[in-house]
């Protein structure tokens, strides 16, 4: 796959992932666009691969962040300490 197609695919994946970013003040899409625009003129194959590796790392870490925030929400919601308590006096 050409570098251009790989970059477009990675950008689209990160853009979709960014829709659900937990912090609305972070401005994920603007930072994503600036990052891709900053690297658009790379010509060194090693630097290009490094940029792709960084993009894949960001994708994995963002997905892990989502999983963690969902897990924390479920843990808070269904915590065993918050359930009905048995009376010990009967």
Write out 16-42 in H/E/C secondary structure.
HHHCCCCCCCCCHHHHHHHHHHHCCCC
What is the span of the domain harbouring residue 55?
Answer: 3-77
Domain assignment of residue 52, yes or no: yes
CA distance 10 to 44: 19
Q: How many domains is the chain partitioned into structurally?
A: 1
User: Dihedral of CA 65/66/67/70: which sign?
Assistant: positive
Along the 90 residues of the chain, how does pLDDT read in single tens digits?
A: 899 999 999 999 999 998 888 777 888 899 999 999 999 999 999 999 999 999 999 999 988 888 887 777 777 788 776 555 555 555
Domain assignment of residue 82, yes or no: no
Residues in the chain: 90
Domain assignment of residue 85, yes or no: no
CA distance 44 to 41: 9
Which tokens hold the place of 46?
């090693």
């Amino acid at each position: 796959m050409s570098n251009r197609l790989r970059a477009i695919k990675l950008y689209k994946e990160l853009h979709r992932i960014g829709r659900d970013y937990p912090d609305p003040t972070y401005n994920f899409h603007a930072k994503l666009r600036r990052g891709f625009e900053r690297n658009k003129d790379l010509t060194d194959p090693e630097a290009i691969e490094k940029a792709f590796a960084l993009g894949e790392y960001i994708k994995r870490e963002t997905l892990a962040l989502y999983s963690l925030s969902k897990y924390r929400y479920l843990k808070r919601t269904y915590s065993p300490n918050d359930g009905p308590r048995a009376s010990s006096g009967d």
